[in-house]
Structure 1
Amino acid sequence: MKEQENESMRERVLQIVLKIAPHWADKMDSVIDSVHRLGKREEAKHRQVIMQFTMRHYRDELWRLTKRSAVCKELNVSFAEHILPADREARAAVWPQIKQAREAGQQAYFRGPTGYINE
């Protein structure tokens, strides 16, 4: 999301989420806890936005709703889990095995920093 002067990041995000999940309109303040950008502001760069949910249940539902959401495509936004640098490094170390397993038709995925391959 492009940064704007004096933006209310929480309000911008809540408006988008309401378009995706209108059934949350009456409880939005109890669904999303906080919203903020990552890092320091820099010219010509847009910082990522972090949303924290009050319960994992809401996060999982939003991810499910956004997978094929026309609203997300229209606004060119996506939702993903924020991965810590240490977890990202751990994933990168096992990515070749995960990729190879997927190419061989096996189910392979990550849960946190750990990779799983089901034969």
Structure 2
Amino acid sequence: MTVEATPTASGGPGGNASGGAKPPETAEELADWWGVIRSTPPGAQFDDYFERRDLGQIILFGIDSLDPTVQSQIKALRDSGKIVHLYGTLLSNVPDYNGSQIQVDRIEVEE
């Protein structure tokens, strides 16, 4: 399944998830989305985001995990410039970066 989002969904970067086209907390499985994990500036509402780069344009998503090991990986990979491949669930129209959040089950880091 391919899931696409627009870079300006739900009020732009850091949006509050209001006015999204999907019902709150719509969930869709995702596999092998690749890109980089970035930190937000100090004082921002959210601490990090994922730059999806596999579609020929950069699309931004909030990122988190329920698994403490994966949470640590996300934090360690912020601003590293390393390409990561994500597997998990995309939640749409939620209070996270750009009105979306990837709940990561697994991260693979390119060497």
What TM-score do you get using the length of structure 1 for normalisation? 0.30
Higher relative contact order (CA 8 A, sep 6+): 2
More helix by share: 1
TM-score of the pair, normalised by structure 2: 0.31
Q: Whose Rg is larger?
A: 1
